[in-house]
Amino acid sequence: MKTLVIGANGQIGRQFCELAHEADVPIRAMIRDTSQQAWFQERGIETVLADLEGDFRKAFYGCDQVVFAAGSGPHTGPDKTLMIDLYGALSAIDLAASLGIGRFLMVSAMRADQVLEAPAKLRPYMAAKHAADAHLRASRVPYVILKPGRLTDEAATQRVTTDVANADDNRISRANVAHALLEVVRNRELRQREFSLLDGNTAIDEALR
């Protein structure tokens, strides 16, 4: 069956879509408008036009799991954080539950449950992620939540750690998050699990075992 990728045009989403396509993992990239379509078409990746701020039920048809990698981005205000990171995520979870989707894979944020400890400008984002994670846990949809640390644009090493307490740094490359997502998508046995993710020294498949 097929995996719907919500947030496919984002920095993690694009890298994940490319990796999945190269690995022959069937995916459908959900994009907001036709201006985003060319990049996916050039690579032979299926797309569906749908908007998280509208009715996007049709995007789910024919898919049995969902990757939610959407984010409002650092240059938008709290209004978009509410609409994308909170409302969009809650709507996607509710649709997955109503349609009987087999698994929901959420890209969240490390320490999303410690909202008041985040810098002031990040608190709306962390609060949205915290609420979305809680909604997913309470839903009847099987899930995996990945909680990356501070994101960088470094190249993939495909080596990470989930041991935050003993990590040398609080960073992880978007490329490594994309590789971790691919590992989770392919490992259908992973359910009701949550992983903090940082760059580290352990192979991804072993770290997520």
Q: What is the pLDDT of residues 164-208, one digit of tens each?
A: 988 888 999 999 999 999 999 999 999 999 999 999 999 999 999
What pLDDT digit, counting tens, does each position of 42-88 carry?
A: 999 999 999 999 999 999 999 999 999 998 766 677 788 889 999 99
What pLDDT digit, counting tens, does each position of 110-147 carry?
A: 999 999 999 998 899 999 999 999 999 999 999 999 99
Domain boundaries of the chain, sorted by first residue: 2-207
Active site residues: 125
Tokens of 81: 């954080």
Residue 107 predicted with pLDDT over 70: yes
- Alpha-helical runs (H) found in the chain: 11-22, 37-42, 78-80, 89-99, 123-138, 174-186, 204-207
| Torsional class of 157: left (φ above 0), alpha (ψ -120 to 50), beta (otherwise) | alpha
Q: Is the pTM of this model over 0.85?
A: yes
Averaged pLDDT score across all residues of the chain: 95
Give the pLDDT score at 129: 95
d(CA 68, CA 7): 6
Topology annotation, domain 2-207: Rossmann fold (3.40.50)
What is the band of 154 on the pLDDT scale with cuts at 50, 70, 90?
Answer: very high
